[in-house]
Amino acid sequence: MLFSVKNSRGCFKRAMQVSKRNWLCLILIFLLYLSLTNISQVTYKKNGSSVSYDKSLHSNWMFKISKNYDYIYLREWTEPTKVIVSVSSGRGENGTAFVPTSDEKPIMEKRLKEQHYNVLASEKMSLRRSLPDYRFPECRSLIYPKKLPTATVIIVVHNEIWATLLRTVWSIIDRSPRELIEEIIIVDDASTWTHLKQPLDDYAKTLPANIKIMRTENREGLIRARIKGANMAKGNILIFLDAHIECTEGWLQPILSRIAWDRSVVAVPLIDGISTENMGYQKFPLEINGLHWSLIFDWMPVPEREIIRTKHDRTAPLRTPTHIGCAFAMDREFFFEIGSYDEGMDIWGSENVELAWRTWMCGGSLEILPCSRVAHLFRSSTYSFDGNAEQIKTRNNNRLIEVWMDEFKNRIYAAYPRTKSVSPGDLTQRKNLRKQLNCKSFRWYLENIYPESAWFKEFINMGSIKNVAENKCLDAYTIKISQNLMTYSCHNVGGAQFFAFSTSGQIMTFRDPCVGIGSDKKSVVVVKCSETDKSQFWDYKQEEKWIVHRESNLCMTKHENRIIIDTCNPFDNKFKWELKSGA
């Protein structure tokens, strides 16, 4: 007979009340209690000791589902057998880059231009190529519970290259404990390529895994297609993967173990890269994800506060403000209880940020697991959809900020004034969801999860900076570090002409770098923001309309085709600047 942990605790309590003559029964029940607790309260273990950093940011468990899985839902597993099926040429093995022959170069370049990555390289490599193991040495010594919940892997496909898709599938099969993969669901979102029809069905039947293929009648887009896959799933945990990734050794166990310990965790593997130029495996550093003013995710160093919280342990889950969205996992019931995705969003874009904010603000957590590594092909998008793509993405963004950003939404509109005119559509359901879940404020999110965010600062102005003499605006155009600033005709649409002038004296650009001084001590350039770098602080003199460099006491001015600092001149309008609000 199988006991749940809840039942075993009750049994243990009753056993404590029996007479001393039943000491043997007591010991047996106590041992059962320990074993079941060890199974249910799954966590990383090192040298026999539990490792946990779960100082919750939330005061209580607010969900209908239980925090941990019942014992009966866990499944025993064994390590997958290492399988390497390489091509005779050995191309791509161990994640190496593809090197074309002279005969291959013309077709390679043609197809690279068409698909935005090296399709020929993908086709010349084994579908089951070997990959390097870039896990930290500490990760390889971790021991995971003998029983774990099962997973359904969901892959949305629209006109994906055969070799790239199947390499994704094979990497899951070959590097995952077979017992823990309940199924792999491929959602074909109205593909038009013939190899994704009957040939894919036939090939799937030959695979040593439970492969299910579902097809949408009409284009749904990534967001709604993922929901369709989730509705069909039977595994305890949903793992959403792009159709152009490769899983590495040991990628699955940390994910399942972490969620089994706490079902409100959204677990994200450490993302590595696959080169679009040659399909070579690229090791990425250990970082977490933040956001630009444009609401596009960005990599950011692990904050010191997080290093201290995890006691400098490189195996510990890291709290991250957001995530890229190409690979993540969460409990199936939790996914639906917390609102799945916003079905009012189209294609893709903003759905990853919306999920991250909703998770944090509504009682869950979003974590990067350093011991789980998945490589992603960062190609230019080929994901087509009816309608204007920019308009659709703007609408997605507006749905995100109108539901979740509270008063901070005006900061986004200041950076991109024209986006405010795009209707987000009906938000009633999503706003009601936020109320039902009793979610925290966006200010709470910034204070507790993302204090490094530029949005957490106070500003004297957010908008454009216009030079009085020539009636042109300061422009950061490419946002490359050390790049000189220039002036350009004011276009009033934000972007490269958006500058957020903080009360502390920093001037931030639309992609978060700041305005500072170049190595020549004269040129005004784009620099990496730093609170300790005195050379990037400024003051605005309202009466004189001067932007004064605090450290040198010189003024910003236009000189020929670049911006410099020079001795302030009250008689030269080139030294005068007007701050225009974009809100």
Is beta strand 486-489 parallel, antiparallel or unpaired with respect to 472-475? Answer: antiparallel
pLDDT higher for 177 or 31? 177
Location of each CATH 3.90.550.10 domain in the chain: 95-132+140-377
What is the reported pLDDT for 24? 53
What is the reported pLDDT for 190? 94
Are 510 and 496 in contact by the 8 Å Cβ rule? The answer is yes
Q: What is the 3-state secondary structure (H, E, C) of 501-563?
A: EECCCCEEECCCCEEEECCCCCEEEEECCCCCCHHHCEEEECCCCEEEECCCCEEEEEECCEE
**What is the arithmetic mean of pLDDT over 410-434?**
93
Confidence label for 40 from pLDDT (cuts 50, 70 and 90): very low
pLDDT higher for 390 or 359? 359
What is the reported pLDDT for 2? 33
Question: Hey, which residues does 153 pair with through a beta bridge?
Answer: 184, 239
What is the reported pLDDT for 34? 41
Question: pLDDT digit string (tens) for 267-304?
Answer: 999 999 999 999 999 999 999 999 988 898 899 999 99
Location of each CATH 2.80.10.50 domain in the chain: 457-581
**In this structure, what are the phi and psi dihedrals at residue 23, rounded to the nearest 5 degrees?**
-60, -35
For residue 395, pLDDT over 50 is answered with: yes
Angle (CA) 382-90-107 rounded to 5° is 40
What is the reported pLDDT for 348? 79
**Which amino acid is located at 350 in the chain?**
S
DSSP class of residue 85?
B
C-alpha closest to that of 250 among 315, 198, 204, 155: 315
Are 347 and 385 in contact by the 8 Å Cβ rule? The answer is yes
Return the CATH fold of 457-581: Trefoil (Acidic Fibroblast Growth Factor, subunit A) (2.80.10)
Are 555 and 436 in contact by the 8 Å Cβ rule? The answer is no
pLDDT higher for 24 or 83? 83
What is the reported pLDDT for 202? 98
Is beta strand 211-215 parallel, antiparallel or unpaired with respect to 181-188? Answer: parallel
Confidence label for 347 from pLDDT (cuts 50, 70 and 90): confident
Look up the pTM and report it: 0.89
Integer CA distances (angstroms), 489 to 464, 568, 575, in order:
11, 24, 17
Percent of the chain scored above 90 by pLDDT? 76
Confidence label for 502 from pLDDT (cuts 50, 70 and 90): very high
By mean pLDDT, which of 98-102, 291-295, 310-314, 346-350 is the weakest?
A: 346-350
What is the reported pLDDT for 60? 86
Q: What is the 3-state secondary structure (H, E, C) of 246-311?
A: EECCCCHHHHHHHHHHCCCEEEEEEEEEECCCCCCEECCCCEEEEECCCCCEEEEECCHHHHHHCC
Are 278 and 363 in contact by the 8 Å Cβ rule? The answer is no
Confidence label for 27 from pLDDT (cuts 50, 70 and 90): very low
Integer CA distances (angstroms), 94 to 85, 134, 171, 311, 371, in order:
12, 11, 13, 33, 19
CB atoms within 10 A of CB 289: 21
Strands (E) in 132-236, as ranges, are 147-148, 151-157, 181-188, 211-215
C-alpha closest to that of 184 among 174, 195, 194: 174
Confidence label for 561 from pLDDT (cuts 50, 70 and 90): confident
What is the reported pLDDT for 477? 85
pLDDT higher for 42 or 80? 80
For residue 137, pLDDT over 70 is answered with: yes
Q: Is residue 441 classed as helix, strand or coil in its secondary structure?
A: coil
Q: Please give the structure tokens belonging to residue 91.
A: 């191309």
Return the CATH fold of 95-132+140-377: Spore Coat Polysaccharide Biosynthesis Protein SpsA; Chain A (3.90.550)
Q: Please give the structure tokens belonging to residue 497.
A: 């002409």
For residue 5, pLDDT over 60 is answered with: no
Q: Is residue 406 classed as helix, strand or coil in its secondary structure?
A: helix
What is the reported pLDDT for 21? 47
Question: pLDDT digit string (tens) for 164-219?
Answer: 999 999 999 999 999 999 999 999 999 999 999 999 999 999 999 999 999 999 99
What is the reported pLDDT for 294? 87
Residue-averaged pLDDT of the chain:
89
C-alpha closest to that of 211 among 174, 177, 169: 169
